[in-house]
Chain A
């Protein structure tokens, strides 16, 4: 249990950094960044992924592709925390000349495995990375975080079909199932549910978990890594805006940065 306490502390720092960098940038995606924070913390600090922050191009590293690229503040804050680059860089988010682009740019920032943001392209690239391991005779895993709203993109299903066909057991797709997209609730805008059955139809082994309870996340992802016969999907129940009371489950905070006043309030809540 003590170890989970450590992860919770790291998550708190990351959430504070996410909100601070978004506030400084004056724009960006708050809600979806906060909903994936605990998943990222489990991946990078919970012993799930193998990586070397000082050697980001290490050939045998596990990869994380953030297909829902608009949630990149969470990725940037996590990578900084893991030591991929100096934390000071976080305060340059979205500014001219910053490697922290509005959506992830693999050419500019160490630790960013693929340029993403145009939804659906990330998961397809992740399939390519997982398939490449077969040619290269490597044993790395590829983790890919997609949004539930993102699953409205047709390209996602081309990617799932290929992953199932090639039995990419080194591919683990995690769905940030927060139920909201920019125009409203996913079920109202374009009903994308059920998700589990869709993955199963493409020959994924599929799990559901809480996206905010560390024991649950780590147990599920550990089990997913052991699957050697098929790709795995993990549908994570998450809360958009998680950790900040006035942002939680509020669609208004999808693409909006906190004001100075909101930041102060949020940081106080996070403690």
Chain B
């Protein structure tokens, strides 16, 4: 199966949307890592390196949006959601500006750089802000499609990409906000995932199938707004929901699903994610083992929960 990183799609898609002369790209000295450098190769006059100053980068993007441009600003997820949170709130979201923010190197799959650089709460932070949309692509194709779709989107958007390569599992055609897709239908439980967890969810579902558990796997790239219709329909059928994300269990996809279901269709929801802790150094694969992000660990956890 072909493997590519979602951050690579961000760069490629920027180069594509650059034909729109309103599009400007900002980065904070990480353009080679976030891949926004791909845009610079084609449109150097509309690429602005703002140096290691993420807060100013976000405010500059706001000022550009107020002047009629369509800025895309990127950095590591931990910096753009953390260091720059205040201007994201005060300037981008408060004014509901047409700015797209991209946080790359999200989650523990960053690997060796360690816990200081692994964003585990960025979805929670961004999701909590009024007007902000939050998208987490499952793979390269979906990331590419998301970037294309954001050109015409009104209001602020946060796109979460990853450093590590992961298998391509979607066609990634015509992304729409608030739309989840069923990767595998099933009747016993609903497993709702985002990011590269969607692939692991699919693999875990195949393992569980051998044990007689029929899992419906849903890929939900749009954390906010959530595809409540798909979540509702699936939860009504299975009555047992599991969520899976490379993010804290506090405030991410699992929380969004729980918040919706608790008010509209109270069913059992179990959240698989990072258990209110920070990451650490290691290879991506070693970290995924330690944090329980393997198909075997996920399948076992779901089985234990169903038996418990």
A-chain residues with CB within 8 Å of residue B91 when the two chains form the complex: 114-115, 121, 124-125
Stretch with Cβ within 8 A of B (4 or more), from A157-165, A198-206, A245-253: A157-165
Contact A128 B96, beta carbon cutoff 8 Å: no
* Proximity string of chain A (187-227) to chain B, C-beta cutoff 8 Å, 1 when within and 0 when not: 00000000000000000000000000000000000000000
Instruction: Scan B49-71; emit 1 where CB is below 8 A from any A CB, else 0.
Output: 01101011001111111111101
Besides the contacts A125-B62, A126-B63, A130-B63, what 12 more A-B pairs have beta carbons closer than 8 Å? A106-B66, A114-B62, A121-B91, A124-B55, A124-B56, A124-B62, A125-B59, A127-B63, A128-B61, A129-B67, A159-B56, A162-B56
Q: Is B252 an interface residue (CB 8 A)?
A: no
Q: Is A270 an interface residue (CB 8 A)?
A: no
**B56 near A106: Cβ-Cβ < 8 Å:** no
Which residues from B are CB-within-8-Å of A126? 63
Contacts A106-B66, A118-B90, A135-B69; A128 near B95 (Cβ below 8 A): no
A136 touches B69 (CB 8 A): yes
Partner of B87, one of A113, A124, A135: A124
**Contact indicator A59/B63 (Cβ below 8 Å):** no
Q: Does A133 contact B (CB under 8 A)?
A: yes
**Binding site of B, secondary structure by majority: helix, strand, loop or mixed?**
helix
User: In the assembly, what is the distance between CA of A156 and CA of B89, in Å?
Assistant: 17
Q: Which of A107, A118, A120, A124 contacts B63 (CB 8 A)?
A: A124
Residues of B within 8 A of A114 (CB): 62-63, 66, 91, 95
Closest chain A CB from B89 CB (angstroms): 8
Chain B residues whose CB sits within 8 angstroms of the CB of A124 once the complex forms: 55-56, 59-60, 62-63, 87, 91
Q: How far is the CA of A161 from the CA of B52 in the complex (A)?
A: 11
Within the assembled complex, what's the spacing in Å between the Cα atoms of A6 and B301?
78
In the assembled complex, which residues on chain A have CB atoms less than 8 Å from the CB atom of B59? Answer: 121, 124-125, 127-128, 155, 159
Residues in A whose Cβ lies below 8 Å from that of B96 = 107
Q: Mark B15-57, 1 if CB is under 8 A from A, else 0.
A: 0000000001000000000000000000001101011010110
| B50 & A162 in contact (Cβ 8 Å cutoff) | yes
A174 at the interface (CB under 8 A from B): no
Quick check: A132 and B64 within 8 Å, CB to CB? yes
Does A173 lie at the interface of the complex (its beta carbon under 8 Å from any beta carbon of B)?
no
B63 pairs with A115, CB closer than 8 A: no
B94: chain A residues within 8 A (beta carbon):
105, 115
Across-interface contacts of A105 in B (CB, < 8 A):
94
**How distant is B97 from chain A, measured CB to nearest CB, in Å?**
9
Residue A22 at the chain B interface, CB threshold 8 Å: no
Which residue, A106, A117, A158, has most C-beta atoms of chain B within 10 A? A158
| Chain A, residue nearest B46 (CB) | A135
**Which of B24, B56, B68 is A127 in contact with, Cβ under 8 Å?**
B56
How far apart sit A141 and B230, CA to CA, in the bound complex (Å)? 50
Q: Which residues of A contact B95 (CB under 8 A)?
A: 106-107, 114-115
A130 CA / B67 CA spacing, docked (Å): 9
Which residues on the A side are within 8 Å of B87 (C-beta)?
121, 124, 155
Distance (whole angstroms) from the CB of A127 to the closest CB of chain B: 5
Which of A107, A118, A135 contacts B86, CB < 8 Å?
Answer: A118
Within residues 70 to 97 of chain B, which ones have a CB less than 8 A from any CB in chain A? 71, 86-87, 90-91, 94-96
Contact A131 B60, beta carbon cutoff 8 Å: yes
CB within 8 A of B51: which of A59, A125, A131, A165?
A165
13 residue pairs A–B, Cβ–Cβ below 8 Å: A107-B96, A114-B62, A118-B90, A121-B62, A124-B59, A127-B56, A131-B64, A132-B63, A133-B67, A135-B45, A155-B56, A155-B59, A158-B55
Closest Cβ of chain A to B286, distance in Å, is 37
Q: In the bound complex, do residue A162 and residue B53 qualify as a contact, i.e. CB atoms below 8 Å apart?
A: yes
Contacts of A159 in B (CB 8 A): 56, 59
Give min CB distance, B204 to chain A, whole Å: 44
**Minimum-distance CB pairs A-B, first 7:** A128-B63, A124-B59, A158-B56, A132-B67, A128-B60, A125-B63, A158-B53
Which B residues are in CB contact (< 8 Å) with A106? 66, 95
A128 pairs with B53, CB closer than 8 A = no
Q: Which of B51, B64, B67 has the most CB of A within 10 A?
A: B67
| Contact B55 A155, beta carbon cutoff 8 Å | yes
Inter-chain CA distance A61–B234, complex, in Å, is 53
The interface bits of chain B over 89-109 (1 if a CB of A lies within 8 angstroms of the residue's CB, else 0) are 011001110000000000000
Nearest chain-B residue to A59 (Cβ)?
A: B68
> Restricting to A90-142, which residues have a CB under 8 Å from any CB of B?
105-107, 113-115, 117-118, 120-121, 124-133, 135-136
Q: Please, which residues of chain B bring their CB within 8 A of the CB of A127?
A: 56, 59-60, 63
A-chain residues with CB within 8 Å of residue B56 when the two chains form the complex:
124, 127, 155, 158-159, 161-162
Q: Decide: B53 and A125 in contact? CB cutoff 8 A.
A: no
CB-nearest residue of chain B relative to A156? B56
Within 8 A of A (CB), among B102-135: none
B67 touches A128 (CB 8 A): yes
Report the separation of the CA atoms of residues A162 and B24 in the bound assembly, to the nearest whole angstrom.
16
